[in-house]
A and B are shown apart, each in its own frame.
Chain A
Amino acid sequence: MISCKGTVDLLVDFLDGALEPDIHRELEQHLRECPECVPLVDGYRDVGRVSREVLAAEIPPQCAERLSSFLRERLPRK
């Protein structure tokens, strides 16, 4: 059976669904049977989603206007 370390080492491919099916099943089984790993894997999976939500930011309108002016001065017009 795959160990905790083996599971953690394969998390990128596991969450991408990029593992061979039998290895993927082994990891799923490990996570069903190992309560120590579950919070780690859940947090690992959630950190991207949480980041997307809290880092969402709108460009300040003045910054967008300055970008337009900057480009208007530099881009050649027909």
Chain B
Amino acid sequence: VSLATVKDAALVERSRGADVEAFEELVRRWSERVWRLALRITGNAADAEEVLQETFLSAYTKLGTFRGQSAFGSWLYRIAANRALMLLRTKRTRSEVDLEEVLPAFDENGKISNPATPLVWDQGDPVHRKRVAAALEAALVELPDTYRVVFLLRDVEGLDTADVAEALELSVPAVKTRLHRARLFLRDRLVHLVDEGTV
């Protein structure tokens, strides 16, 4: 039987029994997603590669602690996100944005003060796509680290809220608050940066 058809949980079991080929199949399956997450958290390729390598080495040595209650991918993301956040803490110099500034404004009756600008997304236009990508990458860098990681895990990698909470050791309400503010902030930045043609 080709390892490519074996489920993650079975590969984990075999890896625990020192079956390195089974673990290598897990690496093949998950390395791109881990690398992408690491790249978006750290913001540079060299750091992402360091996080990628350390994540899989750490995962192999910690396989005995994986309880199988969450998916292998969520567990792996947890290791990768924590590694990436630790790396950022050792070299962080950039300042973070005040998210309060971009929250929508409301009048005393809770009515929105300024009508929102639509977010334009023309997938088929490569120039527009490039501008959106640049705006998004710039905006992600401005987000506080845990907000960025919550958004990446939840909205880009597609984990559910409970898995994100578990991965980052946050409460579910704390994940929702960070997700909400990250979405509002990124929407605001995309609307204005693309609109103003500053990227």
A interface residue numbers (CB < 8 A to B): 3-6, 8, 11-13, 16, 34-40, 42-44, 46-48, 50-60, 63-64, 66-68, 70-71, 74-78
Q: Which of B20, B119, B136 contacts A76 (CB 8 A)?
A: B20
8 cross-chain pairs, A with B, having the tightest CB-CB distances, nearest first = A3-B110, A48-B155, A43-B119, A40-B116, A5-B110, A4-B112, A54-B133, A39-B118
CB-defined A-B contacts under 8 Å, sample of 5:
A4-B112, A40-B116, A46-B187, A50-B190, A63-B49
Contact of A47 among B32, B111, B187 (CB under 8 A): B187
Q: How many A-B residue pairs have CB under 8 A?
A: 136
Additional A-B contacts beyond A47-B187, A71-B24 (9; CB < 8 A): A40-B116, A47-B119, A51-B136, A51-B186, A54-B136, A67-B27, A71-B27, A75-B57, A77-B20
Partner of A63, one of B35, B60, B112: B35
Interface 1/0s, chain B 17-44, versus A by CB < 8 A? 0101001100100011001100110000
When C-beta atoms are compared, the residue in chain A nearest to B118 turns out to be A39
Q: Contacts A43-B116, A66-B49 hold; do A55 and B180 have CB atoms under 8 A apart?
A: no
Q: Are B36 and A39 in contact (CB under 8 A)?
A: no
Question: How many B residues touch the partner, as a band?
Answer: 35 or more
Q: In the complex the two chains form, what is the Cα distance from A22 to B110 in whole Å? A: 20
Residue B97, interface by CB 8 Å: no
The yes or no answer to B62 lying at the interface (CB within 8 A) is no
Determine the main DSSP class of A at the interface with B.
helix
Pick from A3, A11, A43, A47 the residue with the most CB of B within 10 Å: A47
The interface bits of chain B over 108-122 (1 if a CB of A lies within 8 angstroms of the residue's CB, else 0) are 011110111111010
Report the Cα distance A48→B161, complex, angstroms: 14
Interface residues of B (CB under 8 A from A): 18, 20, 23-24, 27, 31-32, 35-36, 39-40, 45, 49, 52-53, 56-57, 60, 104, 106, 109-112, 114-119, 121, 123, 129, 132-133, 136, 151, 154-156, 158, 161, 176, 179-180, 183-184, 186-187, 190-191
Nearest B residue (CB) for A8: B104
Residues of A near B32 (CB, < 8 A) are: 58-59, 64
Asked if residues B57 and A47 are in contact (CB atoms below 8 Å), the reply is: no
User: Shortest distance in angstroms between B57's beta carbon and chain A's nearest beta carbon?
Assistant: 6
Nearest residue (CB) in A for B20 is A75
Contact B60 A6 (CB under 8 A): no
**Which A residue's beta carbon lies closest to that of B36?**
A57
Task: For A40, list chain B residues within 8 Å (CB).
Answer: 104, 112, 116, 187
A37-B116, A51-B186, A68-B27 are contacts. A3–B57 as well, Cβ < 8 Å?
no
